[in-house]
A and B are shown apart, each in its own frame.
Chain A
Amino acid sequence: MPDWKQEITARLASLRLQPAHEAEIVEELAQHLDDVYERSLASGASDAESRRVALRELADANLLPNELKRVHKPFHERPVPGGPGRSNLLTDFFQDLRYAFRMQLKNPAFTIVAVIALALGIGANTAIFSVVNSVLLRPLPYKDPERLVMVWEDASKFGYPRDTPAAANYVDWRNQNTVFEGMAAIADESFNLTGTGDPERLEGRLVSANLFPLLGVDPQLGRTFTATEDQPGSNHVVLLSHALWQRRFGGDNSIVGKPINLNGETYTVIGVMPARFEFPSIDDQVWAPIAFTAEDSANRNRHYLQVLARLKPGTTLEQAQTEMRTIGARLQQQYPDSNTDLGVAVTSLHEHLVGDIKPALLILLGAVGLVLLIACANVANLLLARAAVRQKEIAVRVALGARRQRLIRQFLTESILLSTVGGVVGLAVAFGGLMLLRTFIPENISQAGQISIDLKVLGFTFLVSVVTGLIFGLAPALQAARFNQTETLKEGGRDSATGSSGKRIRGLLVMSEVAVSLVLLIGAGLLINSFLRLRSVDPGFRADNLLTMKIVLPQPKYEEFERRSAFYTELVQRVQSLAGVKSAAVTTNLPLYRQGNSIGVSIEGQPPPPPGLENIVVTRIISPGYFETMSIPLLSGRQFTDQDVRTGQRVVVISDGMARRYWPGEDPVGKRIGTGRIRRPEDWFQVIGVVKDVRQVELTADPRPQMYLTYRQAGFFPAEDLVVKTEVDPATLAATVRQTVWEIDKDQPVSNIRTMEEILLQSIARQRFSMLLLAIFAGVALILAAVGIYGVMSYSVAQRTHEIGIRMALGAQTGTVLKLAVGYGLKLVVAGVVIGLIAAFALTRVMSTLLFGVTATDPATFTLISLLLIAVATIASYIPARRATKVNPIIALRYE
């Protein structure tokens, strides 16, 4: 028997198999050759003949190693099944998925570009959605929160559709309604905490005992208030916030039952609220019973409460609103002096907490959606270009009988894989984005601290990823499926995406990218424009080099007017003598922080206003140096001096707006006003000066009539804020000034140390938030659009290299060719801009509540932004076009 092994081994040599494995193959094949040889001999052939027959089995020297190589190659994919054979959705899907993975790995550059674009889009969407989810969608952390409502006095006639009710009205509502399970009152209060460590001022609330059961929140430690504790005299009990308990009492469990010193009086701690409890706002650290006195319960003129109520099960907000309106009408008749034109409004608690920020968030959500659309258009373009390159692959599949449906499905699997990877990377982008977002989200947005990526957000991201993949994958998939073999052949093997339909799709994509980014850019432009106008609003004072802090004098200790005055005098004097301080003053309220106090005034010589239409004037009680410190210009008359004291003539400085309102065309200096019943001539306040209007509440609101009184004469309400004009960076003086306060009274809390600039910024934090975000999104959109245009132009120019070469060879000028190429790009861009402008006209209206000083269709913004976009787009198409003209005609012609 001949030995075949040598022959076989020689052919396997190149494969470098493992010896044992090789030996097995050799053995098996040799046996086969033996059999062939023997059979041949048996049929009568000669030995030499039989030997040849057997060796022929091995065919030429390369066949065996080549065939074996294929066995040892990694798992060989089966082609997409052709004919109308059975197909299994799931098997097909996994097959497509594996294939898609390989496609992506084969083109890392393509994949990276696409994934970055998608990750930006999906990440931005995830980040904004997680804000929307936490702030708008997630139920409030109370029991059956959808049944919680706020009840307001409706004073629309005076411009306050939701005004804080007076206690007597609240009591009547509570006793007369049949729609609520319960109703609770809340009032602002601040407490000076002393006795342990530095004195500190705490924001807190006085609340009805039933507030906590009404919300359905249990304390983490101890208990909440009893009805007995909600009575005057037995109300010296408090609940602490979790944060305060941790910060000031080291999380000591035995705090319950212990006394603490608040406002100079002893209160017993009865409980600690859980960490997430922030009601009504995140600033609140202490809650004590509101304990109305009989006098409180009869007062219909002091409007200072917030009222929470819980709807009975099955009762709707509308039913509650209807009944409360009836009760309000009855009270109007019963108490015409105080309740004329006073209605009742019911709003959901959720709307009360998030209503303000809702439009901005929804617009931002819409905006990121548009950014994602642009990213989709870009990736679709990339895929189209790649589909063109893949014509051959498609041709083979179609030839094998692949059905259109099957091809589309495979292409979509690829794009969804791409978008899912984009989604995963996008999650990382979202994490980063949220960290950034947290630094400038306005902190007074309800639940802002709870913003996180939870399951719902993950679900959203997944959904967005899949839908995104479908959107950008559809065009290339359809394009591929419309593929026509004959056409491919006719075009001589060059891809058909350069054909008319491919070009049309590309053109459409560029146009829509331009249109969508124009809408975003205009939106951002309008917000930036508003913000700039907002920043340039003259608040009526100068905010630079101003240090402010809250110094609230505790009640029993500083009850006496003289004691209070003495404190202010000494404080201003001492602070003014500090190095680096130009001047200092105290005031009841800083501008742009809170409305502060208002009082009704009577004007000498003018008839008293009808009930409900009192001359309400925003009132500040200040020290004489206030105008100088705040740089509020005096328009006429004089300022307060130290000689304006209680025993002398009572004087008042009014705002320009107040002067124009009550003494139009006259000089108000010397006129007199009253702040209550005038019994004696000395009760009048004489106007001694007029100062410029100050925006007291917010920059966007027109100033209301204002007047200033000096603390040496008027004791209606205590001054609470110290303001210091410095010659140096105001922040550097904070510690020194605080020390000065403690030198006067070591138990006096100092809080809210901020510069006036900070307060100014804080007052426009929401506008800044929306503006910044939309500007970022629009910027991303612009970049994506520019990249998209650049890509399409590069591609189209590359396809036309041949044509351009011929033109140049025939003597065309560079300029002409350039015009030709850029002209095509510009045509698309201009068409996109026109569509975008129409869309923007329709869409920017939804932003009108966010705008200030510009209309939603501001022509200047529309024009400027359109020009900007056209300029960017022109550059994006000029660069590739220019490159094309640099081509050497000879090379271009050889290109075929």
Chain B
Amino acid sequence: MTLSRKCVPFTPFDGELSKATVAIVSAGGVHLKEQEPFNIADELGDLSFRVIPDDADTSQLMVTHHHYDHADADSDINVVFPLDVLRDLKEEGFIREVARKHVGYMGYTMQLKAMYEGTAPEIANEIDRGSRADVVVLTGG
């Protein structure tokens, strides 16, 4: 196995989870039904992402991704995009708040450099601007 030569971009977390606001960023191809689906016809992949608001009704979320079997996510989106689960953790006081914005994108791409240097910092900026997230949970498919 060949590891990336880039160093691990480690940011420590010095706070307490019970005081933290948490966002979800998923490579599982999740988006709202009313949003434009990811382009699975392009063999190079789709470098775009969708912003999902904190009050999203999870029954209105769906998956557009052709590189994993998302039948389980189709029946319960929380298996790849745990927004209801995060709401539960807020209710039980494990975290303080669900972030105002979350992000879905389609992790499969043949354009790794564009994903790493373009999409990834754009997603980070999106989360940084106005989501109020202290920490981010990343999920794939």
A binds B: no
Chain A residues in the interface with B (C-beta under 8 A): none
Chain B residues in the interface with A (C-beta under 8 A): none
